[in-house]
Amino acid sequence: MSHATLEANKALVLAHHDAVTNRLDAGAIRAQLASDFFDHAVGKRLSAEEVLAQAAAMHETFAELSAVAECLVAERDMVAGRFVWRGRHRSLWRGIQPTGRHVEFRGMTFWRIRDGKLSECWAEIDFDGLERQLRD
């Protein structure tokens, strides 16, 4: 795989995190996902509309939500990333009433790119650490 393709794949993953978390850009999300996109964290195919609904729910729960890549690695058709998310807890999450607290949590995602689109995702997000921030 060419260096240009690997860089394009990394750019796609960064653009997707930007569209989902930083801007909630429905058009970009629809354009970035393959029609048979599979999210291994939930164990099923998700349509762009389902991904948008998940993203909107996170934005509803956490104001000023943002994500920043701390590291990206691309090889063959895969991009792995370590991300940090930040936001302010403003509505019910996992049974926890709004705290108004600013939170920061991290996770790692792996993406498979096929024909310039995101076709699969594996995510390990530290939601337990986030929950501890809200309960302490």
| Residue 1 near residue 82 (C-beta atoms within 8 A) | no
| Residue 130 near residue 62 (C-beta atoms within 8 A) | no
| Per-residue tokens: 51 | 């991904």
Fold of 3-135: Nuclear Transport Factor 2; Chain: A, (3.10.450)
48: nearest Cα among 108, 111, 99, 119: 119
Note the pLDDT of residue 67: 96
Note the pLDDT of residue 1: 77
What gap in Å lies between CA 99 and CA 56, rounded to an integer?
A: 19
pLDDT digits (tens, 9 = 90+) for 8-54: 999 999 999 999 999 999 999 999 999 999 999 999 999 999 999 99
Note the pLDDT of residue 46: 98
To the nearest 10°, the Cα dihedral for 10, 49, 93, 79?
A: -10
Specify the pTM.
0.94
What gap in Å lies between CA 106 and CA 67, rounded to an integer?
A: 9
Read off the pLDDT band of 104 (50, 70, 90).
Answer: very high
